[in-house]
Amino acid sequence: MDAPKLGPDTAEVYERQKMINVTLAAPTPREAYELAREKYGEDFVLVSAKQIRYEEEGGVFSEITISVSKERFLQLDMTEEDESDTEPEEGLMEELSLLREQIAMMKGDLLSREASEETLIERVKTLFNEKGIALEWLDSVLEPLIGSTVAEDEKLLVAYLLEEIDETLQVRKEEIVGQKVMMFVGPTGVGKTTTIAKLAARYAYMMEKPYRVALINLDSYKVGAFEQLAHFADIMQLKYLTAASVGEFREVFAELSDYDIVLIDTAGMSPYDTEKLVKTVEYLSSDTSQTIEVSLLIAATVKYEDIKDIHETFSFLNLDSIILSKFDETKHLGTVLSYLLLHPVPLSYFSIGQEVPDDLVVADKEYLLQRFIGDLDA
Ligand SMILES: Nc1nc2c(ncn2[C@@H]2O[C@H](COP(=O)(O)OP(=O)(O)O)[C@@H](O)[C@H]2O)c(=O)[nH]1
Ligand SMILES: [Mg+2]
């Protein structure tokens, strides 16, 4: 035959236009013909018949080839296959489609879970950001949580962030060993002079032992500034000295070797002031090898825009500690907290009001966090 092979070998199916050739085998040509009639009724045409000898068994078989309409052939073929061969295949198909459904469900589940986690993280991030915490810090802390169990629960997420804040914040123990020299820097009006007065009273009269306290005023610019600190010194009967230049500072500092604590008041943020501060710090650490603790005062009320300027002006002094002032004036500590998270310098004291000497507390993370949580709750 010259037609191309189309079907399985056993059936030797050939297609001619709309007809298909089917070969059937039986012991005799007659039985083969009966077989064809059984299968296709009258709907076929006999094409050829031949006898086949089976070598091994020495038997003879008759083969007939008939031509059946494609339609009829397919009908029969399908029903036959349905009964026998296709069963396992169909089972497989069913299993496959079931599996596919399951995978689709799992995928959907996973996607919706990821999506809900993302929205949960976004929600908590927005909450903290609205309270002043920088996105930069929030992203760095929250990113590793994506896909973790913490990210599936809002309360856990909030608790995790508070824990991270707690861990990042640093506080400095109040320690007085040897001579302690402290310089207070920060923008005008932040509360430097008031805080120095509070600390002077604390060290001189309110600790378990009285310390000898001296005050130096480097704040030669502000009108009335000399009088303010001098007034406190007078009331508390403490040594008080002024120095308008680094040269003068050198002279007055030399007089103070007997004092346990020297507190240095400074002026604001002009380049002239900061240059004087740098020179003073340099002088103290190089010429007298005296360790000097530089404390930056930041008001809890500080605005986000201002805190950058403050950082740029004072951070190159190598800050040893930060004092937060005006705690009593705001409930919103996010901005200052955010600064502390991005620039972790230990906190030393909190100024919580105008009263000298009472409105001062040693820095305490709990105190700060409780207030921040109160603000979050609101
Ligand atoms: N409400 C409040 N006012 C404060 C606090 N600390 C200082 N002040 C007030 O802020 C103003 C400026 O304080 P001052 O010590 O002169 O700031 P300085 O310019 O940094 O020396 C004064 O009226 C202080 O009484 C504080 O913790 N809370
Ligand atoms: Mg002052």
Cα separation, 14 vs 8, in Å, equals: 10
pLDDT score for 12? 44
Whether the CB of 190 sits within 6 Å of ligand 1: yes
Whether the CB of 192 sits within 6 Å of ligand 1: yes
Helix axes 135-142, 334-342, angle to 10 degrees: 60
Give the distance (Å) from ligand 2 centre to CA of residue 192. 5
Per-residue pLDDT of the chain (378 residues; tens, 9 = 90+): 444 444 444 344 444 457 888 888 888 888 888 888 988 888 888 888 888 776 655 677 788 888 888 878 777 665 555 444 445 567 777 888 888 887 777 777 777 777 777 789 999 999 999 999 999 999 999 999 988 888 889 999 999 999 999 999 999 999 998 999 999 999 999 999 999 999 999 999 999 999 999 999 987 655 555 578 999 999 999 999 998 888 899 999 999 999 999 999 998 777 777 888 888 888 888 888 788 999 999 999 999 889 989 998 998 888 999 999 999 999 999 999 999 999 999 999 999 999 999 999 999 999 999 999 999 888
Fold of 14-82: Dodecin subunit-like (3.30.1660)
Whether the CB of 325 sits within 6 Å of ligand 1: yes
Give the distance (Å) from ligand 2 centre to CA of residue 233. 13
Beta bridge partners of 294: 183
Which atom belonging to ligand 1 lies closest to the Cα atom of 265?
21
Whether the CB of 256 sits within 6 Å of ligand 1: no
Helix axes 334-342, 304-314, angle to 10 degrees: 40
**Is 221 strand, coil or helix?**
coil
**Which class is domain 180-364?**
alpha beta
DSSP 144-185: GGTTSGGGG-HHHHHHHHHHHHHHH--B------S-EEEEEE
Q: Whose atoms come closest to the Cα of 323: which ligand?
A: 1
Residue 88, preceding peptide bond in cis (omega within 30° of 0): no
Q: Is 0.75 surpassed by the pTM of this model?
A: no
Give the distance (Å) from ligand 1 centre to CA of residue 239. 22
Cα separation, 305 vs 310, in Å, equals: 9
| Contact status, residue 14 vs residue 1, Cβ threshold 8 Å | yes
Give the distance (Å) from ligand 1 centre to CA of residue 191. 4
Q: 109 CB contacts (<8 Å, ≥6 apart)?
A: none
Length of the chain in terms of residues written: 378
What are the boundaries of each domain within the chain?
14-82, 111-168, 180-364
What token pair was written down for 367?
């105190």
| Contact status, residue 220 vs residue 248, Cβ threshold 8 Å | no
Query: Which residue out of 220, 232, 354, 371 has the highest number of ligand 1 atoms within 8 Å of its CB and is therefore the one to mutate?
Result: 354
Amino acid at 240: Y
Amino acid at 327: F
| Contact status, residue 59 vs residue 29, Cβ threshold 8 Å | no
Give the distance (Å) from ligand 2 centre to CA of residue 243. 14
Nearest C-alpha neighbor of 316 from the set 185, 169, 220, 137: 185
Give the distance (Å) from ligand 2 centre to CA of residue 341. 27
Whose C-alpha lies nearest to ligand 1, atom 13?
191
Cα separation, 14 vs 2, in Å, equals: 10
Whether the CB of 354 sits within 6 Å of ligand 1: yes
Whether the CB of 353 sits within 6 Å of ligand 1: yes
Q: Whose atoms come closest to the Cα of 185: which ligand?
A: 1
Give the distance (Å) from ligand 1 centre to CA of residue 200. 15
Whether the CB of 189 sits within 6 Å of ligand 1: yes
Query: Which residue out of 190, 193, 194 has the highest number of ligand 1 atoms within 8 Å of its CB and is therefore the one to mutate?
Result: 194
Q: 300 CB contacts (<8 Å, ≥6 apart)?
A: 324, 325, 326, 327, 329, 330, 333, 336
Give the distance (Å) from ligand 2 centre to CA of residue 367. 26
Q: Whose atoms come closest to the Cα of 197: which ligand?
A: 1
CB count, 10 Å around CB of 41? Answer: 9
How is residue 5 annotated by DSSP?
Answer: B
